[in-house]
């Protein structure tokens, strides 16, 4: 007689009590496709990746303690049944199948459980504007990428904007602060040059050179490859009025020109729309525009770069990495805008 018995017969034989020895000979077919009214839990086999069955069949399911994930063998390889990934830090928004963590100041991205491919956008602080026919500040550098990260604490540094140049001839504005995540650095924007031909400083994007009436005009600072563009050279006597004009700061998307700041990048426009950050221009979001300036009479102002670049004498917009606006005459010059870091991953 076959050892396999009907489940009801097992119950009868066991006196109404089912125990492990009673079920040893029950065929799988006799207990499958049955309603389970338990409010408890089913305990899956568990073990490390190295402890996976040597010859699994399709459908084998187990909890992988190395990955901290439930996994199933599909006949060819093991795959996660449902990704378990948890992280904290910044301002969190879910949209389009992604979770975004936005850092407008320095903090910590804390992965508390699981491993996932994450993407990031890092924007550094913009450089300050130049004094008295000075150039516009260079925008902060912008860099993005991806990495597979597991449970740990990851520091996030958001760079501050650089201060405008001191009120002296030949001075230079301060560079913006660099922003950093996962050992990846976006370089702060270069400070602009001031009156009497001071050069703009190099940075993520370069600061604009200062104008001059008789001395050589200042040169624009260089940008960093892959992060931003150069600032424009200043001009000397003969270009406009008597004292020349400053060069516009470079942006993350274009170089500066005389007076005008270079536009920032729109590569992360979708991120900006979701997180309500950056500068929205007609439904397209820009980050890291260069600062502008004007002539020595202040009557011919240039155009700031899209992405938070500062207008003449104005600060770059906070959390855009925009460069500060230079002053056309002996007046206030703007500081650069602070940077931002955004991290996202698929849900």
Question: 160 and 260 in one domain?
Answer: yes
Question: 279 and 143 in one domain?
Answer: yes
pLDDT of amino acid 7 = 47
Supply the pTM of this predicted model.
0.82
Question: 266 and 176 in one domain?
Answer: yes
CA angle 54, 58, 60 (to 5 degrees): 65
Cβ–Cβ contacts within 10 Å for residue 128, how many? Answer: 40
**343, 314 in Cβ contact below 8 A?**
no
Q: How far is CA 310 from CA 161, 249, 250, in A?
A: 11, 10, 12
pLDDT of amino acid 238 = 59
Is residue 338 a part of any domain in this protein? Answer: yes
Mode of pairing for the β-strands spanning 69-73 and 78-80: antiparallel
Cβ–Cβ contacts within 10 Å for residue 347, how many? Answer: 12
pLDDT of amino acid 14 = 47
Question: 18 and 129 in one domain?
Answer: no
Question: 235 and 113 in one domain?
Answer: yes
Is residue 237 a part of any domain in this protein? Answer: yes
Q: How far is CA 332 from CA 31, 110, 255, 293, 326, in A?
A: 82, 41, 24, 11, 8
Q: How far is CA 199 from the centre of its chain?
A: 30
Is residue 1 a part of any domain in this protein? Answer: yes
CA dist., res. 15 & res. 31, Å (int): 18
CA dist., res. 321 & res. 339, Å (int): 4
Mode of pairing for the β-strands spanning 46-47 and 61-64: parallel
Is residue 99 a part of any domain in this protein? Answer: no
Q: Please give the average pLDDT of every successive group of 10 residues along the chain, which has 347 residues.
A: 47 49 54 76 88 91 83 86 87 97 98 94 98 95 97 98 94 97 98 94 97 87 98 79 83 96 98 98 98 73 94 95 90 93 96
Is residue 76 a part of any domain in this protein? Answer: no
Question: 168 and 19 in one domain?
Answer: no
**259, 273 in Cβ contact below 8 A?**
no
CA dist., res. 216 & res. 200, Å (int): 13
pLDDT of amino acid 297 = 57
Cβ–Cβ contacts within 10 Å for residue 63, how many? Answer: 15
Q: Domain of residue 13: give its range.
A: 1-34
Q: How many distinct structural domains can be found in the chain?
A: 2
Question: 127 and 21 in one domain?
Answer: no
pLDDT of amino acid 81 = 76
pLDDT of amino acid 35 = 77
H helices of the chain, in order, are 7-13, 20-23, 269-275
Question: 155 and 260 in one domain?
Answer: yes
Go through the chain and tell me how many residues it has: 347
- Tell me the backbone φ, ψ of residue 61, rounded to 5 degrees: -130, 140
Question: 112 and 12 in one domain?
Answer: no
pLDDT of amino acid 183 = 97
Is residue 82 a part of any domain in this protein? Answer: no
Is residue 28 a part of any domain in this protein? Answer: yes
> Which of 221, 196, 197, 227 lies closest to 208, judged by CA?
221
Is residue 323 a part of any domain in this protein? Answer: yes
């Amino acid at each position: 007689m076959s050892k396999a018995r009907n489940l009801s017969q097992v119950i009868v034989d066991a006196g109404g009590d089912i125990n492990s020895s009673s079920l040893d000979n029950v065929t799988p077919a006799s207990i499958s496709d049955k309603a389970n009214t338990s409010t408890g839990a089913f305990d899956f086999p568990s073990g490390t990746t190295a402890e996976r069955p040597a010859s699994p069949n399709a459908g084998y399911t187990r909890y992988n303690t190395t990955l901290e994930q439930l996994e199933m063998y599909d006949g060819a390889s093991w795959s996660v049944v449902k990704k378990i990934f948890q992280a904290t830090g910044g301002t969190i928004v879910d949209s389009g199948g992604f979770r975004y963590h936005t850092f407008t100041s320095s903090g910590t991205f804390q992965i508390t459980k699981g491993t996932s491919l994450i993407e990031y956008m890092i924007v550094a602080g913009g450089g300050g504007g130049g004094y008295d026919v000075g150039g516009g500040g260079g925008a902060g550098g912008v860099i993005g990428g991806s990495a597979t990260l597991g449970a740990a604490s990851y520091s996030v540094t958001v760079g501050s904007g650089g201060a405008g140049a001191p009120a002296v001839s030949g001075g230079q504005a301060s560079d913006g602060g660099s922003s950093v995540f996962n050992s990846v650095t976006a370089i702060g924007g270069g400070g602009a040059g001031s009156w009497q031909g001071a050069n703009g400083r190099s940075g993520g994007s370069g600061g604009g050179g200062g104008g001059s009436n008789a001395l050589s005009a200042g040169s624009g600072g260089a940008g960093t490859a892959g992060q931003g563009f150069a600032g424009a050279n200043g001009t000397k006597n003969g270009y406009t009025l008597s004292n020349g004009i400053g060069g516009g700061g470079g942006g993350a998307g274009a170089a500066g020109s005389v007076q005008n700041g270079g536009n920032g990048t729109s590569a992360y426009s979708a991120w900006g729309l979701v997180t309500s950050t950056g500068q929205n221009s007609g439904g397209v979001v820009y980050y890291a525009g260069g600062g502008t300036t004007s002539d020595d009479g202040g009557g011919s102002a240039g155009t700031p770069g899209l992405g938070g670049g500062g207008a003449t004498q104005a600060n770059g917009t906070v959390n855009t990495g925009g460069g500060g606006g230079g002053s056309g005459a002996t007046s206030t010059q703007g500081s650069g805008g602070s940077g931002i870091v955004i991290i996202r991953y698929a849900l």
